[in-house]
Amino acid sequence: MKELYDYKVTAAGRVNVIGEHVDYCGGKVFPAALSMKNTVYVRANGTDKINLSWTTLPDKVSLDINNLERYKSLKYGNYQAGSALTWQRAGHKVLGCDMLMDCTVPFGSGLSSSAAIEVSTIAALCAVAGETCDPVEAALKAQQAEREFAGVNCGIMDQYASACGKKGHAMLLDCKTLDCEYVPVVLGDYAFVIANCNKPHSLVESKYNERRAQTEEALEVLQKHTDITCLADLSAEEFARHAGALSPVIERRARHVVHECVRVREAAQAMQTGDMVLLGKLLNASHESLKELYEVTGKELDALAAAAQSHPACAGSRMTGGGFGGCTISLVKKDCVEDFKAHVAKAYRDATGYTADFYEADISDGITVEKL
């Protein structure tokens, strides 16, 4: 079946090591692309239709390339339609083609299955059109598709990581300038373990957009006192000086952003100097801040992070991604990973009734294109 296609194109899911809810505030983030990914098998079909099918779904969907706006409310295929539309609007050739989708990023896990689908769709369209895909442009257009077709006013982190990831490296990405420094993920005796809390999450879009609006409100007030262009420009000292101008809730949101930006810098340094104890402490502090100040964790993620943090071989643990459900990332002594998982699974089940899933973080490339 797959051999009937001309190209195999992939884009990655991602895990964010640290730097949560700061990308849309112009901050630096520290994600890595995962080997869990979306694969598109694609061939041109000489028509005006993009025909979609899935390895894991019986559905078949046909998109008219001259009318891509009309697919916003599709259950399956809206991300592909949105990505094709934003790519087309940017002046790129979008040809009729058959696409078979195979996604190994668990949906709703906070590991960016949607970014993987969007970015791989754009890269697949490039392949059939004979164009070389600029991964940064693909990421920007995929982000626009997420905003317009999924209603999430997201930052650039997920799509950038999905497109531009590099095997064995995390990305210290400046979301204001899109400068990216690749940092080798060398964890010594430790490994990253990802755990999914498996709580079906709702209201993610509206809460996410609300948080983003609150940071914009903070910026507007603080700009009356400072000459910053984004919240991430503010040092912790400057923030402390002007925080009194903000209402209590908005002050908490902004305080998270300012201090999370400091932690990202320290975490990247800790990784570079091999200080796993410090890296772990920063992960814990990030979770605490997302829980108490930014309020995007929830009972399940808090229970999962607490279960991880209570294991003696765990240097630190935090939620990763947008929050309200999804995954944690933990830094765990390599030779204790199995014991860690058993401990966390039990403590988490006892606390919430849910069964967690675990994934080893295999850090991989972003977009790949293979001629079949």
Could you give the residue numbers annotated as active site? Answer: 158
Looking at beta carbons only, is 4 or 203 nearer to ligand GLA? 203
Nearest to 183 by CA among 163, 169, 200: 169
Residue 182, token pair as written in the block: 């690749």
Q: Are the CB atoms for 141 and 57 separated by under 8 Å?
A: no
Interatomic CA distance for residues 72 and 76, integer angstroms: 10
Beta strands 31-44; 28-29: pairing state: unpaired
Sole window of 17-25, 85-93, 233-241, 360-368 interacting with ligand GLA (rule: CB under 6 A): 17-25
Does position 300 interact with ligand GLA (CB under 6 A)? The reply is no
For residue 139, the minimal CB distance to ligand GLA (Å) is 11
Residue 355, token pair as written in the block: 């069964």
Looking at beta carbons only, is 22 or 337 nearer to ligand GLA? 22
Q: Report CA 81 to chain centroid distance, whole Å.
A: 20
Sole window of 16-24, 61-69, 72-80, 229-237 interacting with ligand GLA (rule: CB under 6 A): 16-24
Looking at beta carbons only, is 212 or 333 nearer to ligand GLA? 212
Looking at beta carbons only, is 34 or 61 nearer to ligand GLA? 34
Q: Which of 11, 20, 271, 332 binds ligand GLA (CB under 6 A)?
A: 20
Does position 324 interact with ligand GLA (CB under 6 A)? The reply is no
Q: What count of Cα atoms within 13 Å lies in the side-chain half-sphere of residue 179?
A: 7
Sole window of 153-161, 266-274, 327-335, 353-361 interacting with ligand GLA (rule: CB under 6 A): 153-161
Residue 155 Ramachandran class (φ > 0 left, ψ -120 to 50 alpha, else beta): beta
Any long-range contacts for 331-335 (C-beta under 8 Å, 24+ apart)? 331/187, 331/190, 331/191, 331/192, 331/276, 331/279, 331/280, 331/283, 332/190, 332/191, 332/192, 332/193, 332/308, 333/189, 333/190, 334/189, 334/190, 334/191, 335/189
Does position 321 interact with ligand GLA (CB under 6 A)? The reply is yes
Does position 98 interact with ligand GLA (CB under 6 A)? The reply is no
For residue 129, the minimal CB distance to ligand GLA (Å) is 27
DSSP string, 306-325: HHHHTSTTEEEEEEESS-SS
Q: Which of 24, 30, 340, 348 binds ligand GLA (CB under 6 A)?
A: 24
Looking at beta carbons only, is 21 or 255 nearer to ligand GLA? 21
Tell me which amino acid residue 271 is. Answer: M
Looking at beta carbons only, is 33 or 99 nearer to ligand GLA? 33
Q: Which of 9, 12, 17, 23 binds ligand GLA (CB under 6 A)?
A: 23
Residue 319, token pair as written in the block: 């939620």
Q: Which of 118, 158, 233, 302 binds ligand GLA (CB under 6 A)?
A: 158
Does position 157 interact with ligand GLA (CB under 6 A)? The reply is yes
Site size toward ligand GLA, by CB under 6 A:
10
For residue 147, the minimal CB distance to ligand GLA (Å) is 10
Tell me which amino acid residue 91 is. Answer: G
DSSP string, 126-143: HHHHTPPP-HHHHHHHHH
Sole window of 3-11, 15-23, 98-106, 240-248 interacting with ligand GLA (rule: CB under 6 A): 15-23
Footprint on this chain of ligand GLA (rule: CB under 6 A): 20-21, 23-24, 154-155, 157-158, 321-322
